[in-house]
Amino acid sequence: MQRLFRMAEIGATKNGGVCRLALSDEDRLARDLFCEWANELGCSIQFDTMGNQFATKTGINPNLPAVLIGSHLDSQPTGGKYDGALGVLAGLEVIRRLDEENITHKHSIDIVNWTNEEGSRFAPAMIGSGVYAGEFTVDYAYSRTDSAGNLFKDELARIGYLGDSKIKRDYKACFELHIEQGPILESENKKVGIVTGVLGIRWYNITVTGQEAHAGPVPMEMRKDPVKKLQAIISDLYVVADKYRPDSRLTIGSIITEPGSINTVPGKVALTLDIRHPDHKILELMNEEISFICTHKHKQVQLESIWHSPPVPFHKTCITAVEKAAQKLKIPAKKMVSGAGHDAVYLNRIAPTGMIFIPSKDGISHNESEFSSPKDIEAGVSVLYEAVKSMIG
């Protein structure tokens, strides 16, 4: 908890949150602090071409595959203290407790701080773990720019974390402890989530075309009003979500009217659509029904699929390790699926990976008022500790 609060001073906002954008000066300070703490615990530090930081506590047999713990230290512009930081600092706490209890381990332990998980300064999100897992090339990542036109590579070099080599090692298991960012654990009074996988996601841009018209002189029956059509489309879309409850998610996050003037019938309305489901087949069914709504049922509507992330089932070994740890500690736990993407999703492609959730107060995150109680944090870290301990033999 001390480390968590000390870390939250870096980029602290007036309202109790954190602004620690990727590759900012605050990000550098957070990285430096992480190094300092890891060194104190006897870890050696390296960082790769993406600036991903790896703190290694070497095991008795360094040739065995290591166990990885970690998450990210960057934040949203008005983010909270817990998202990401918890998962990195929990790694340090695991090392500290192993030392305290004089536990030796054959397998090495790595603690990772993935670069630019949030993606709010440099899109896309999770680019550090993405490059590590082969989803993106380093050159692609380097070419990303922020809204001020700064290059990712330049900013990484500026803060002193542009590494010159890839770091690649075998992992026996990887664990990411993270706040739930949703209301489920809290509402069911569980302390820990055993995350079995991540919802599949599809993102779309939808454009409804009408015809701009002056709000006064053009009678209703002579208009091509895209807002009227928007209303019907939104109604149809929510029906799709209702059909596949309770695991479905459907979010219309942005609606933009053009030209957006109070006395002009818009010529165009653009909206974004985010749908999610843990079952690949159902996600594809939802996709088909949305296509039908936008391309057959309604006219003058354009549907563009812009991103697809299939559902991710985490690795059985890791799920079981987390489950057993919670049982051993008698902590009320719930098997659940993560609604959000995490670095663990990419990592799972190249190494056995699992996640542990702890409750988020009111399900709120990406917000300065994000909160998880010290008690829940202790429970989460203890489960992580036991799960890691079961793997490092």
Residue 261, interface with a second copy (CB under 8 A)? yes
- Please identify, using beta-carbon distances, which residue of 109 and 208 lies nearer to a second copy: 208
- Closest distance of CB 312 from a second copy, Å: 12
Binding residue (CB under 8 A) for a second copy from 262, 296, 330, 374: 262
From 29, 41, 213, 350, residue interacting with a second copy (rule: CB under 8 A):
213
Tell me the closest approach of the beta carbon of residue 23 to a second copy, in angstroms: 20
Q: Quickly count: other Cβ atoms within 10 Å of residue 325's Cβ.
A: 24
Span interacting with a second copy, options 66-74, 108-116, 256-264, 373-381, rule CB under 8 A: 256-264
The single residue listed with the structure tokens 């793997």 is 391
Task: Measure the CA angle with vertex 7, ends 22 and 337; round to 5°.
Answer: 70
Which tokens sit at 244? 């596949």
Report CA 26 to chain centroid distance, whole Å.
20
Q: Does 157 bind a second copy (CB under 8 A)?
A: no
| Residue 350 touching a second copy (CB under 8 A) | no
Calculate the CA 276 to chain-centre distance.
Answer: 14
Residues 365-384 that bind a second copy (CB under 8 A): 365-367
**DSSP code of residue 12:** B
Closer to a second copy at the Cβ: 151 or 213? 213
User: Based on CB atoms, which residue is closest to a second copy, 104 or 147?
Assistant: 147
> Which of 183/313 has CB closer to a second copy?
183
Name the nearest CA neighbour of 162 among 182, 145, 142.
142
- Under the binding rule (CB under 8 A), the answer on residue 217 touching a second copy is yes
Least distance (Å) between residue 62 CB and a second copy: 38
**What token pair was written down for 178?**
């993270």
* Axis-axis angle for helices 374-392, 316-329 (nearest 10): 120
Contact 66, 170 (CB under 8 A): yes
Handedness of CA 355, 360, 363, 366 (dihedral sign): negative
Smallest distance from a second copy to CB 179, Å = 9
Nearer to a second copy, 125 or 156 (CB): 125
**Bridge partners, residue 204, by sequence:** 273, 305
To a second copy, the closest distance from the beta carbon of 54 in angstroms equals: 28
For residue 51, give the nearest of 118, 132, 119 by alpha carbon: 132
Judged by CB under 8 A, the chain residues 276 through 295 that form the site for a second copy are 276
Judged by CB under 8 A, does residue 340 bind a second copy?
A: yes
Looking up tokens 């299939």 gives 310
Smallest distance, a second copy to C-beta of residue 81, A:
17
We find the least distance from the C-beta atom of residue 305 to a second copy, in angstroms, to be 13
Tell me the number of residues near a second copy by CB under 8 A: 63
Residue 45 lies near a second copy (rule: CB under 8 A): no
**How crowded is residue 329: how many other Cβ atoms within 10 Å of its Cβ?**
15
Tell which positions 161-180 bind a second copy, by CB under 8 A: 180
Q: Label residues 20-31 b or e (16+ Cβ within 10 Å = b).
A: bbbbbebbbbbb
Segment contacting a second copy (CB under 8 A): 30-38, 316-324, 334-342, 372-380? 334-342
Q: Are 375 and 186 contacting, i.e. CB atoms less than 8 angstroms apart?
A: no
| Rg, Å, the chain Cα set | 23
Residue 142 engages a second copy in binding (rule: CB under 8 A):
no
Near a second copy by CB under 8 A: residue from 41, 241, 285, 329: 241
| H or E element in which residue 88 lies | helix 85-100
Cβ atoms of residues 42 and 57 within 8 Å: yes
Among 219, 296, 330, 374, binds a second copy (CB under 8 A): 219
Q: Which of 217, 200, 346 is nearest to 278 (CA)?
A: 200
Q: Applying CB under 8 A, which part among 37-45, 151-159, 261-269, 346-354 lies near a second copy?
A: 261-269
- Residues 227, 269 contacting (CB under 8 angstroms): yes
Work out which of 177, 269, 351, 391 binds a second copy, going by CB under 8 A: 269
User: Residues interacting with a second copy, by CB under 8 A?
Assistant: 180-184, 187, 199, 201, 203, 212-222, 225, 227-228, 230-231, 234-235, 238, 241-242, 245-246, 248-257, 260-266, 269, 272, 274, 276, 338-341, 360, 363-367
